[in-house]
Amino acid sequence: MADSHIYRTRSNWIYLVVIALVGILAAISYFSIGNIYDGFIATINTAAICAIMWVVMIYPKIVYSNSGIEIHNPFQTIQVGWLRAEDFVTKYAFTVVTAEKKFSSWAAPSSSRIISRNIHDTDYKGTGLESRKVIATSDSPRSESGAALVLALRYSQNSVNAGTAGEHLVRKINILTVAVCVVSIGILVYTLSQ
């Protein structure tokens, strides 16, 4: 098994591209009619909105390693060693449960009820979920939270068996993402008040 694996939702890139295209088309329309000032403002606003969307939708990820799991949320990063993680829950989002607190990931939201119609028993074979007494819809490997759960169970089991599992719990504030959001919101407030 690889030393580390990064899990992040890929469909969010499509949303960011759509937002950027709409903003770019608005700026082009202003420039094409000769309104340079409004085109410049539209470009700045598009860049600020894309920066906020990057922080909220693209930056969140889960990093699995041999010693533990890192949950990168927009404003906080949590590192939990496999020995410190007591359970993994997928009720609303992929969540790591420790004795101190529960840590949910923005990168792996839970699925809707619609996916339960398409679940078959063979979907769970080889995932490590067979040992669970109750398998919820959100545990399905077809959902974001379920895929994150399967990876966590595999990395956790392999790390504990290999003796590389850690027992750390570290929480850090992401200063870069906070700064990007503050600057972007400041730019939007300033340009929209003009």
DSSP per position, 107-156: EEEPP-GGGGGG--GGGGTTTT-TT-SS--GGG-TTSHHHHHHHHHHHHH
Pick from 66, 88, 100, 90: nearest CA to 169: 100
Residue 115 has pLDDT above 60, yes or no: no
What one-letter code names the amino acid at 91? K
Distance of CA 165 to the CA centre of its chain: 23
Q: What is the pTM of this model?
A: 0.80
User: What CA–CA distance (Å, rounded) separates 27 from 23?
Assistant: 6
Question: Hunting for tokens 């996916």 — which residue is that?
Answer: 115
Question: Where does the pLDDT of residue 1 fall: very low under 50, low under 70, confident under 90, or very high at 90 and above?
Answer: very low
pLDDT digit string, tens, across residues 40-92: 999 999 999 999 999 999 999 999 999 999 999 999 999 999 999 998 888 88
User: What CA–CA distance (Å, rounded) separates 3 from 25?
Assistant: 43
Say which residues have a Cβ less than 8 Å from residue 38's Cβ, sequence separation at least 6.
Answer: 30
Pick from 90, 73, 44, 65: nearest CA to 186: 44
Question: Where does the pLDDT of residue 143 fall: very low under 50, low under 70, confident under 90, or very high at 90 and above?
Answer: confident
Backbone angles phi, psi at 142, to 5 degrees: -80, -15
- Tell me the torsion sign for CA atoms 175, 176, 180, 183: positive
Pick from 146, 121, 133, 159: nearest CA to 4: 159
What one-letter code names the amino acid at 123? D
